[in-house]
Structure 1
Amino acid sequence: MSTLSSVNITILGSASAQPSSTRNHSALALRLDGDVWLFDCGEATQHQIQKSSVKIGKVQKIFITHTHGDHIFGLLPVLAMRLNGAGGTVDSEDPRATTAPSEDVPPLEIYGPLGTRAYVRTGLTYTHTLLGAPYVVHELRLPTDPADGDHTALPPHPHERPGRNILRAADGTWPAIFAGALVSVSAAPILHSVTCVGYVVAERPVPGKMDPARYLPDLKRTGTPMSAMRRLQQGESVALADGTVLRGPARKPGRKIVILGDTHDPSPIAGLAADACVLVHEATNAHLPGVDPDTKAGETYESVEARARSRGHSTPQMAGAFARRVRARKLVLNHFSARYAGNDDVDEEARRVMGAIRELAESTYGGEVVCARDLMSFDVGPRKE
């Protein structure tokens, strides 16, 4: 079994409800070797992709956390851009309007809560958008949702393939909504003002640490080809000519990346999120007296947290507490209020504000905290022994 050689996260948008000149609406690109998976598609995500090193043609899957506009308004433009969309021609019928793509063409996959399929179908239909390749929408259904059906009266778009309606398991999660050779994706509901989902991308167990000196004497003694070392590296057993059986090192857990949508309480995903290498958690509001000049008189940490919770959002301290609870190795804060500028790489005041936000999260967490900035990109290295 092969393993992932490269895992990279690129922040395409780190704003909350209102974008600013330094923060775009929510979107994140996860690059797994050559493939790109997007998590949320706020307005202008396609522009952010063009500004980044992410290649739109590599996008294979899109995961939507919830259907608030700041997380989904950019989905249709990304689809049209990725799938060679057009509006037809004047003098002749565009073949894309009547010809379905070959079944040999794999569809771009979209995952999201109830309403995602209706939103995409309605938007493409009423904007008369023709596509050059297929797509499919899989919906994560709650017990209170209809178990079947598309939740829209419109017929499928000509390039839409039938999607799955995925019901929750007995433990309240959606396990293995995607299961590939190298990674799987599971999900769970998280608490917000509307139905919202968090996603867990888990790499399959990877080969353990190999000590060739442990095996070489037996391989040489029995004349076993050195190619057996590759099998041992993968954790397999090798039977030698004299009956000796060599066993490779036990495989170890792979990387785990947890990407949450908006939430004031992500507790339902805590089990899936345990021991995450990276946890992406919102931190919409913060109390920064003496640092944020817009701090209102009479505000307290408690009042800011109460207001954030009432709107379904979190503070840095809340994000840090959850990161500590699930033993995350690294916490990435995102989804910031427009009052917190995202140009802290060049602006001293923004650097001071974001530094204070990071310290608030550190106060309840204790691990590494990063404040997301648009177009920030970083690799996720293998787990340490």
Structure 2
Amino acid sequence: MLTSVNITFLGTASAQPSSTRNHSSLALRLNSDVWLFDCGEATQKQIQRSQVKMGKISKIFITHTHGDHIFGILPLMAGRLNGAGGMVDEAEEKRGAEGLDQPPLEIYGPLGTRAYIRNGLAYTHTHLGAPYVVHELLLPTDPLTGDHTTLPAHTSELVGRNILQSSSGTWDCIFADQLVSVSAATILHSVTCVGYVVVEAPVPGKIDPKLYIPHLKRTKAPMSLMRTLQNGDRVTLSDGMILTGPSRRPGRRIAILGDTFDPSPIAALAANVDLLVHEATNAHLPGIDPDTKSTDTYETVEMRARSHGHSTPQMAGAFATRIGAEKLVLNHFSARYAGDKQEGSVRIMDGIRALAEANFIGPVICAHDFMSFDIELRRVQEK
């Protein structure tokens, strides 16, 4: 069971950064491991200003290869993997050889992710002191073999998987261990874009000790047996009596979407998530945003957002309702919407949240850089 799940927004801007919002990236902490979702320019600098530990980053998931979502990955890799620009001396070579025995930094992304990283490392003459691997999520129309780049593999690059999309339009279980799994699906944008769903394995159900204590008192190790029951397992007593722990219940479910004007293809995977992270790039805020055009309407703003592959808060709220999300976090805001605590900025973000709430009855949060919170398990409903 995951004892701690935390999300930290490192960058919440779209297209270009501002003085209050960096390019896209968020960190998901699972116990002590950290997974990054997207890695826009200056993500490494944002990490240094946050509580996220660079050395704990074990996976990076790229939603799409637009620059505002991937330009920061090369410097982050150089920092995370003890990289060095230019020629390395013998000491650095020795450290590099030792580093290659470490678990690799795993990177997932659509076609082009591997080529971008390989080319960038090669032409900047970047040496890494530890290994990395890139797994590409391929569409049926993508090449099934080859590295999709003419350059040879980097000296620190391990052979990654080319993961073919299923007939249902998803990439099922691209990663799984005993605690958590990750699946993905395309979402509609101006280029190939991916949304990810992180699912915690079933967790122990709520146990009522009063049902078991009278029986466990007759044993030599009641506390040890109680822990076994708490895990949902069975215990056989010396007299043959069998005690069964409560059934396991669903773990946390988190959907993290990239840029999209229609995430319908991921709806089934993202059903009933505890947290949905959805972009809300553009909004119509008459009377709130002083830069609102008098010729605009809610319809024209949505039409313009869709034409660029993006969403409005209303669209995000509608999708959250459609999939039965527990909570919605709006992200990826236009540079015109500051992420500071100035009165005007707060009023605008309150207006954006209200637009989403018009289509979604659950909690809505507008993300800002360095916003961080724990994702709790849903409470067990009392009978």
- Is the structural similarity TM-score above 0.5? yes
| 2:21 aligned residue | 23
Show the 5 A alignment for 1:340-355.
Answer: 340-343=337-340, 346-355=341-350
The CA RMSD measured in Å over matched residues stands at 1.6
Q: What's 1:356 paired with?
A: 351
3-state DSSP class of the match of 2:82?
coil
Asked if structure 2 preserves the Cα contact closer than 8 Å seen for 1:279 and 1:332, the reply is yes
User: Deviation at 1:226?
Assistant: 3.5
Alignment of 1:97-176 (within 5 A): 100=97, 104-176=101-173
Distance 2:235 2:42 in 1: 54
- Counting only pairs closer than 5 Å after superposition, residues 1-385 of structure 1 correspond to structure 2 as 3-89=1-87, 92=89, 96=93, 100=97, 104-221=101-218, 225-343=222-340, 346-385=341-380
- Please tell me whether the aligned partners of residues 86 and 124 of structure 2 are also in contact (alpha carbons under 8 angstroms): no
Identity %: 70
1:93 CA displacement:
6.0
State the shift of 1:223 in Å.
5.8
**Partners of 1:175 and 1:24 in 2: how far apart?**
31
8 A contact 2:195–2:257 mirrored in 1 = yes
Q: Give distance in 1, aligned partners of 2:223 and 2:287.
A: 66
Larger mean Cα displacement after TM superposition, 211-220 or 28-37? 211-220
C-alpha distance in structure 1 between counterparts of 2:220 and 2:25, whole Å: 55
CA shift, 1:167, in A, is 1.0
The separation in 1 between residues aligned to 2:372 and 2:223, in whole angstroms, is 40
- What per-residue deviation string (whole Å, max 9, x for no partner) do you get for residues 241-261 of structure 1? 222211100000001111000
Q: Structure 2: any 5+ residue segments left out of the alignment?
A: none
Asked if structure 1 preserves the Cα contact closer than 8 Å seen for 2:61 and 2:109, the reply is yes
Kept after mapping to 1: 8 A contact 2:281/2:332: yes
Describe the SS at the equivalent of 1:188. strand
Whole-Å Cα distance in 2 between the matches of residues 28 and 125 of structure 1?
27
Q: Report the Cα distance in structure 1 between the residues aligned to 2:167 and 2:151, rounded to whole angstroms.
A: 32
Gap regions ≥5 residues in structure 1: none
Deviations 1:326-345 (A, max 9, x none): 111110001000110110xx
The Cα of 1:100 is off from its aligned counterpart by 5.0
SS across alignment from 1:243: coil
- Distance in 1, matches of 2:40 and 2:95, equals 30
CA distance in 2, matches of 1:68, 1:42: 9
The separation in 1 between residues aligned to 2:55 and 2:244, in whole angstroms, is 42
Letter in 2 for 1:256: R
Cα distance in 1 for residues equivalent to 2:352 and 2:345: 11
Letter in 2 for 1:158: T
How many residues in Structure 1 have an aligned counterpart in Structure 2?
A: 380
Distance in 2 between the 1:244 and 1:379 partners?
40
CA offsets per residue over residues 301-356 of structure 1, 9 Å max, x none?
0000011011110000000000011111110001000110110xx20000000000
TM-score normalized by the length of structure 1: 0.96
* 8 Å Cα contact 1:253-1:383 kept in structure 2: no
Q: Distance in 1 between matches of 2:219 and 2:3?
A: 33
What is the CA deviation profile of residues 187-221 of structure 1, one whole-angstrom value per residue up to 9, with x for unaligned ones? 11100000000001111100000111101222234
- SS of 1:122 mapped into structure 2: helix
Q: TM-score, normalised by structure 2?
A: 0.96
